Amino acid sequence: MILIILSELLYFNVSTPIIIFIINAENIIGPEYEGRITFFPSTASLELRSLTLDDTGEYGVNAVHDGTLLNGRTTLVIYEKVSNVLVTSSSTDLVEFSASVSLSCSASGSSLSFLWLNGSSEVTASDRVQLTDGGSSLTIINVTRFDQGPFRCRVSNPVSTVTSDPVNLSISYGPENINLILSPSQGYFAVGSDISLTCSVGSRPPAQFKWFLNGDQLLDTGSELRLMNVNMSNSGNYSCQASNNKTLRSQTSEPSAITVLEKISGASVKPSTNLPVEGTSVSLTCEAFGSVFKRNWMKDGSDLTLTDNMTLSDNNRVLTFDTVSRKDSGEYFCQISNPISSDGAKYIMTVNYGPENVQIKGPNKVNIKGTLKLTCSAESTPTARFTWLFNGTEKLTNSAEYIKEEVELSDSGNYTCQAWNNITERTSSSVVHGLTVTGICKSSGCAAGCIAGIVIACCVIVAANVFEKSPGKHFPF
């Protein structure tokens, strides 16, 4: 341990003495330090109290020891604590992209440093952000919605830190990103439905709304348009327009199409005639109540394939057969539909034709007293009615069959079948069917006189036929 015995010691602030300490003498204290200092001789230290900013400066000490001058230097900095931190704004109600704002931070204290916070993030200088006046002034050019704050100013020095109360900016923006939502989300609706249209948009303050139908403004306002118990007059293109009374901007949505339809009902297929005749023109008309979008024709359960004699017209409403044929007979089905409903109707068309191909089937020879059965057939719809002629004049029966149980020699001759269609009103005759009644009796009990009579009758008939074929000759009786 080295003990230095001081004969005198001088503390001073630059050139102003604080205290002069002399061994075995009275200490001398500078007037501005009266009552604020204490000197500790044992440690040669000096305590300075009730500091003021004026106490800032360079301090030194001179000591004399055995006639040798000793000295030391130190610097004392006195700081005033930060207080009264306050942020003021040039404006707090701003429009995005078209306004700038300046924030000023004031505070009491010494050696102040300034830091700006937006929320919890530090604000740094950029193209849009300027920090001036030692950082106490913050200027934001062309504010955006992200500049709304809260802004705080944090002021500090080596002995204290104080943060201001928050300042919020009201940044008006929009409207933008407008979107029109239809509920239910479909384009077609039945009469009597309820429909809701909602308009959403980004905007501050909240946007005001107008509604339009086919470009004409409706009386409705608000972000939702409700259409209750709609009818066909509610069909059209709907759009909404959002406007902002702060930014003085507006935006209109893309139109949303609403089509109100009547459900399909009462479908029917009606022919131009109930009795179509082959070779004539026939039309089938497909009708229904409601909003008809589409008609589809089928025949016998399959999609209809048009042939050369068919045409579809009036949006598939009318199916026309230029010259209908029997092949066109069948079940026709018309399916009528729209996006919300469908209905169908069928019509069975029978094409009337004939008679054609009239034919007689039966024997050309029959023994006397035998049974004669002739059958007449014809191609005809509806089924033909038949008339039998004997030798061109005599009407025998009106059925398809001519039956005689016991023929006589007088039944020999020419038989003709005549077919008649009561719908087509056409008549057609068969080829003449010749019949010969022979004289051979099937029964074993035929008497000789009977046989003789048959032979004589046959000779007379043959002679009559020969004579008839000779021109200009007549029977003498």
Structure tokens, 254:
């893309």
Alpha carbon distance 145, 151 (integer Å):
13
- Give me the pLDDT at residue 256, please: 96
Percentage of the residues of the chain whose pLDDT score is greater than 90: 74
332: nearest Cα among 351, 311, 348:
348
Q: Which ranges in 301-379 belong to alpha helices (H)? A: none
- Give me the pLDDT at residue 319, please: 98
Total-model pTM = 0.65
3-class DSSP state of 328:
helix
CB count, 10 Å around CB of 336? 27
Topology adopted by domain 8-76 = Immunoglobulin-like (2.60.40)
- The pLDDT of residue 3 is above 90: no
Which of 8-22, 123-137, 150-164, 225-239 has the weakest average pLDDT? Answer: 8-22
Cβ 260 vs Cβ 251: under 8 Å: no
91: nearest Cα among 146, 155, 205, 172:
172
What DSSP line would sit under 379-407, residue for residue?
EEESPPEEEEEETTTEE--SSSEEEESS-
- The pLDDT of residue 330 is above 70: yes
More confident residue, 1 or 211: 211
pLDDT band (50, 70, 90) for residue 231: very high
- The pLDDT of residue 203 is above 80: yes
How buried is 306 (Cβ within 10 angstroms: 0-12 exposed, 13-18 middle, 19+ buried)? Answer: exposed
Quick one: CATH architecture of 353-438?
Sandwich (2.60)
Q: What digits encode the pLDDT tens for the residues 430-463?
A: 999 999 999 865 444 444 444 444 443 433 333 3
Structural domain boundaries in the chain = 8-76, 83-168, 172-261, 265-349, 353-438
Q: What digits encode the pLDDT tens for the residues 20-67?
A: 555 455 677 778 888 888 878 777 788 888 888 888 888 888 777 677
3-class DSSP state of 50:
coil
CA dist list (Å): 6 to 10, 38, 39, 41, 131: 11, 18, 14, 10, 55
> DSSP E strands: which ranges in 90-194?
93-95, 101-108, 113-118, 121-122, 129-132, 137-140, 151-157, 160-163, 170-183, 188-190
Topology adopted by domain 172-261 = Immunoglobulin-like (2.60.40)
Residue 457: phi and psi, rounded to 5, are: -65, -40
CATH class as words, domain 265-349: mainly beta
pLDDT band (50, 70, 90) for residue 426: very high
- Residue bearing tokens 């300027």: 130
3-class DSSP state of 156:
strand
Strand partners, 103: 89, 138
Structure tokens, 116:
């700006």
Q: What digits encode the pLDDT tens for the residues 338-388?
A: 999 999 999 999 999 999 999 999 999 999 999 999 999 999 999 999 999
User: For the structural domain made of 83-168, what CATH number should be given?
Assistant: 2.60.40.10
Give mean pLDDT, residues 404-416: 95
Structure tokens, 38:
């204490």
Alpha carbon distance 404, 411 (integer Å):
9
Domains 8-76 and 265-349 share a fold: yes
